[in-house]
Amino acid sequence: MKRKMNWLVISCVALAGCGKLQNDINVPLPAYSSDLVVECYLQPGKVPELAVTTSVPYISSVLPQVPTDVTVTLTMPNGTLVPLPFNPNYRALIDTTAGVKFHSHIGRDPLVAKAGDVFKLDVVDTKGRHATATTTMLAPVPIDSVSYQFNDKTGSERKAIFLTSFRDPAPLDDCYRLQLHKGNPARGALLKSPEVDMSVEDRLLNGQEFVLGTSYRFYPGDTVTATLYHTERAMFRFRQSVRDARQANGNPFAQPSAIYGNVQGGIGIFGVLSGTTAQKILAK
């Protein structure tokens, strides 16, 4: 019994001494310079809106920082300057079920645009930060067909893939964004997050037919709306870099990923969503 007690005392002393092996190290972080972050997608027939936030250090709060001293001006193709007043819908930041995207600035009149029109964006704050961007509306690419194929299962396991077909124009470097929304558009289905949201480029299928398919995720009776956006390559690179950055975040084995966009003097993307739609109701 005495020998066991001695070993217990020695073990306790050894464990107590392990605390001395821990050293706290303070790593000095370099000064961080916050940038304006701009995200703006113009759509013909819709009121122009955009979100302006500021970048924050990696270890800071994840909540977006919305500056209130930013002036935004949209330059139309004919040179007309259109101010976009600060009128944020803060509710969209915290209520992801609202079906509305966040914006910090919004115009008053629906946008009138056609293929080839060039738009410019000017964003400036009282701290001297100044971001600019330019974008061109591309010609819409029509959807040739939408179709679906069910698996051979029954009951709740019976699901379908959805196929969207279109032909790529002859020039190289066309990029596309396809969104699939499930539900009745008349009841606000297109305002909700899409069931599928993918981006592709034409490097391997330039001038050929594209057939974009999904996994088995749609059910009999579903209403599926396909929206195909013809976008500039800058938007494709932006979406890909955001995806890569999210995947690298928190992964000690991943290479940090930079965000690529077309905003000068800041971070982000400015583009026109030139889209066409097609709808299909899956048979029950």
Domain of 41, CATH number, reads 2.60.40
Binned at pLDDT 50, 70 and 90, residue 13 comes out as very low
Q: Which of 6-15, 16-25, 91-100, 246-255 has the lowest mean pLDDT?
A: 6-15
Q: What is the pLDDT of residue 167?
A: 97
For the cut 90, the answer to whether the pLDDT of residue 88 exceeds it is yes
Please check whether residues 159 and 207 belong to one and the same domain: yes
In a domain, 164, yes or no: yes
> Look-up: residue for tokens 């920082």?
65
Q: Kindly give the residue spans of alpha helices, DSSP state H, lying in 227-272.
A: 233-248
Please check whether residues 110 and 172 belong to one and the same domain: no
Q: Are strands 49-54 and 36-42 parallel, antiparallel or unpaired?
A: antiparallel
Percent of residues, the chain, with pLDDT higher than 70: 85
Please check whether residues 58 and 123 belong to one and the same domain: yes
Distance between CA 181 and CA 280 in Å, rounded?
11
Distance between CA 274 and CA 138 in Å, rounded?
6
Name, in order, each residue with C-beta under 8 angstroms of 138's C-beta and a sequence gap of 6 or more: 115, 174, 230, 231, 232, 272, 274
**Given 83, 112, 137, which residue is the final one in a domain?**
137
Structural domain harbouring 182: 145-230+276-281
Mean pLDDT of the region 138-157? 96
In DSSP terms, which residues pair with 71 in a beta bridge?
124
Percent of residues, the chain, with pLDDT higher than 90: 68
Q: Which two tokens stand for residue 102?
A: 């966040």
How many structural domains compose the chain? Answer: 2
Please check whether residues 44 and 119 belong to one and the same domain: yes
Cβ-contact 149, 161 below 8 angstroms: yes
Q: What is the pLDDT of residue 245?
A: 85
Q: What is the pLDDT of residue 98?
A: 52
Q: Length of the chain in residues, anyone?
A: 284
Stated as kind and residue range, the H or E segment containing 74 is: strand 70-75
Name, in order, each residue with C-beta under 8 angstroms of 183's C-beta and a sequence gap of 6 or more: 189, 192, 223
Q: Which of 90-94, 212-216, 256-260, 277-281 has the lowest mean pLDDT?
A: 90-94
Mean pLDDT of the region 4-28? 55
For the cut 50, the answer to whether the pLDDT of residue 4 exceeds it is no
Backbone angles phi, psi at 248, to 5 degrees: -80, -20
In a domain, 244, yes or no: no
Please check whether residues 45 and 131 belong to one and the same domain: yes
Binned at pLDDT 50, 70 and 90, residue 202 comes out as very high
Q: What is the pLDDT of residue 8?
A: 42
For the cut 90, the answer to whether the pLDDT of residue 174 exceeds it is yes
For the cut 50, the answer to whether the pLDDT of residue 211 exceeds it is yes
In a domain, 236, yes or no: no
In a domain, 14, yes or no: no
Q: Taking all residues of the chain, what is their mean pLDDT, rounded to a whole number? A: 88
Backbone angles phi, psi at 198, to 5 degrees: -130, 155
Mean pLDDT of the region 212-233? 97
Cβ-contact 178, 164 below 8 angstroms: yes
